[in-house]
Amino acid sequence: MDRRQFIKDLVALAALAPVTRIAAKAGADGDKSSDITEGLQVTRRPFRNTAQTVPLLGFGCMRLPTLDGGKIDIETVRKMVERAMKAGCNYFDTAYMYHGGESERCMGEVLKAYPRDSFYLTDKMPVWFAKEADDIERIFKEQLERCQTEYFDFYLVHSLNKSNWELAQKYKAYEFLSRMKKEGKIRRLGFSFHDTPEVLKTIIQSHEWDFCQIQLNYLDWELYRSREQYEVAAEAGVPLVIMEPLRGGVLASLSPDATEILKKAAPDASAASWAFRFVGSLPNVMCILSGMTRPEHLEDNIKTFSPLKPLTDDERKVLDEALLAYRKKLAVPCTACRYCMPCPFGVQIPRIFGIYNQYKASGNRWQFNSHYNSLPKSGRADSCVGCRRCVQHCPQKIQIPEMLAKIAEEVK
Ligand code: SF4
Ligand code: SF4
C-alpha cells in the first residue's frame, strides 16, 4: 500500500468511527482507575459488509491472571470480563493449549453467566495435535465441551505455516470445519498465521475464508514483513484480527531513549497506546487482541480504544523517531530491505534476522523454534558457506556470515 492510499484509508476510517460506536452503558467495579474509564465504549468495526460489528479491542485469553503456583485466578478473570463486557469489549479469544487447556475451561465457566448472544467466543484448531483425521473432530468436540458452548462465533485453524498447512490439508481440517459451519457450530471460519507473505497468499487463495489472524505491530511492519502480509489480506478482501500488537509486551516498555521521545510528545499516553493506535489506524483491521494479565492493562486499553484515534501524520513521525532509537538496540540492525538477496546458496538472510530479533526482543524460544524450523533446510543459518557476496550489498554494514554463524550456533 502506498502512502497516498494509506492516508485515503485513514480519512475513510475517521468518517467510519462515530457510526461504529455502540451506545454507552455505565458500569462500576469500585476500582479507582475504572472511575476514569467509566462509561467508555470501545470502537467497533463492521464485519465485512454486514450489520454485525466487532469490538476493535479483543480480549486475548493466552495470558490470563494467575495465582501463586500458576493456576488461573478465575475470580480476577470474572471481574475483568465483567468490566470488558460493560465497555463493549466482548470478543474473547482462547485456544486449545492456552494455560494447558485451562483457558478454555475458565472462559467457559466465566462466560456462562452472560447471554450467549452477548459475546463472541473464538477458539482454534491445533492441527499439529492430530495424528489422524478423526482427531480433528475429537478436538473440536472437546473444545465445545470445555467452553460449555454449542457453537463458536469465530474459529481458526491455528498457527498455519507451511508445515501446519500441509497437516491441515492432510487431515482435511478445512473440510471438517466448513461442515461445522454449515451445521451452525461455527459462525465465522478463518486461520491464524505465522509465515511469509508468499505462504499467506497461497493459503488465503485456497478457500473462502471469513477472516485471518496475523502478527502485526510497528516494529514488525517491515522487520517481520507484516506490511506485506497486511496487503495480501487487504487485496483478498479478508479482514484481519491482529495478534502481538505489543510484540509480546516489548512495545509496552521500550528502551529509555525511545520512551523519552514518546513521553515528550504525549506525556500521559502509555507506550502501549501508541502501538495499539498504529495497528488501529489500518482500516482492514477488524479486531486487535490484547492478552491482558492485570485489570490495569484492561483499563488502559479501554481508554485507548474508546474511541481508537488513528495516528496523525505528526504522531506517525514521532513514532518513526522512537522506532529508530529502539531499533539501534536490536540484536541485528537488519531493516529487511533485502538488498543482500538472493543468496546464491538459498540462505533466507532477512527472514532469519527477523525471527532472531523477534526472539531476542520477546524471549519466546518456542516461537523462535517454530518459525526457524519452518524454513527449508537450505534457507537456514548453517547453510551459509561464507562466500561474503551479500556483505557488500548491506546498507547497514552487517557482517552477515558472522552473524549467521552466531545464530546457527545458538540454534544448536
Ligand atoms: S555469505 Fe552466506 S549468506 Fe551471504 S551470500 Fe554467501 S552463503 Fe549467502
Ligand atoms: S541487506 Fe542488510 S539490512 Fe538489508 S535485508 Fe540484508 S541483512 Fe538486512
- What integer pLDDT is reported at residue 10 of this predicted model? 40
Q: C-alpha distances in angstroms, 310 versus 43, 181, 186?
A: 11, 34, 32
**Across 168-177, 228-237, 254-263, 272-281, least confident range:** 254-263
Confidence of residue 36 (pLDDT cuts 50, 70, 90): low
The residue extents of the domains of the chain are: 3-321, 349-411
C-beta separation of 282 from 273 below 8 A: no
Residues in the chain: 412
Residue whose CA is at the smallest distance from ligand 1 atom 6 = 387
- pLDDT at position 412 over 60: yes
Q: Which ligand is nearest to the CA of 343?
A: 1
**Cβ 342 under 6 angstroms from ligand 2:** no
For 97, other C-beta atoms within 10 Å of its C-beta total 17
For the record, the C-alpha cell of 331 comes out as 540484536
CA nearest to 121, candidates 170, 156, 70, 166:
156
391 Cα: distance to centroid of ligand 2 (angstroms): 9
- What integer pLDDT is reported at residue 168 of this predicted model? 97
Residue whose CA is at the smallest distance from ligand 2 atom 1 = 394
- pLDDT at position 362 over 80: no
C-beta separation of 38 from 60 below 8 A: no
**Cβ 399 under 6 angstroms from ligand 2:** no
Tell me how far apart the alpha carbons of residues 298 and 33 are, in angstroms, rounded to a whole number. 10
What pTM value is reported for the model?
Answer: 0.77
- What integer pLDDT is reported at residue 25 of this predicted model? 31
Tell me how far apart the alpha carbons of residues 27 and 80 are, in angstroms, rounded to a whole number. 12
**Cβ 384 under 6 angstroms from ligand 2:** no
Does 3-321 carry CATH code 3.20.20.100?
yes
Confidence of residue 252 (pLDDT cuts 50, 70, 90): confident
**Cβ 389 under 6 angstroms from ligand 1:** yes
> What count of Cα atoms within 13 Å lies in the side-chain half-sphere of residue 224?
25
Chain position carrying cell 556483505: 391
Which atom of ligand 1 is closest in space to residue 385's alpha carbon? 7
For the record, the C-alpha cell of 113 comes out as 453467566
For 16, other C-beta atoms within 10 Å of its C-beta total 14
Question: If you average pLDDT over residues 136-144, what whole number do you get?
Answer: 98
CA nearest to 291, candidates 67, 127, 95, 148:
95
More confident residue, 51 or 162: 51
For ligand 2, pick from 334, 348, 389 the residue to mutate: most ligand atoms within 8 Å of CB: 334
393 Cα: distance to centroid of ligand 2 (angstroms): 8
**Cβ 393 under 6 angstroms from ligand 1:** no
Which atom of ligand 2 is closest in space to residue 400's alpha carbon? 7
**Cβ 399 under 6 angstroms from ligand 1:** no
- pLDDT at position 298 over 60: yes
Tell me how far apart the alpha carbons of residues 191 and 198 are, in angstroms, rounded to a whole number. 16
The 3-state secondary structure of 215-241 reads ECCCCHHHHCCHHHHHHHHHHHCCCEE
For the record, the C-alpha cell of 272 comes out as 502501549
395 Cα: distance to centroid of ligand 2 (angstroms): 7
For 163, other C-beta atoms within 10 Å of its C-beta total 14
More confident residue, 7 or 117: 117
Tell me how far apart the alpha carbons of residues 315 and 118 are, in angstroms, rounded to a whole number. 36
Which atom of ligand 1 is closest in space to residue 401's alpha carbon? 1
335 Cα: distance to centroid of ligand 2 (angstroms): 6
For ligand 1, pick from 352, 385, 406 the residue to mutate: most ligand atoms within 8 Å of CB: 385
SS3 66: strand
- pLDDT at position 389 over 50: yes
Tell me how far apart the alpha carbons of residues 246 and 252 are, in angstroms, rounded to a whole number. 6
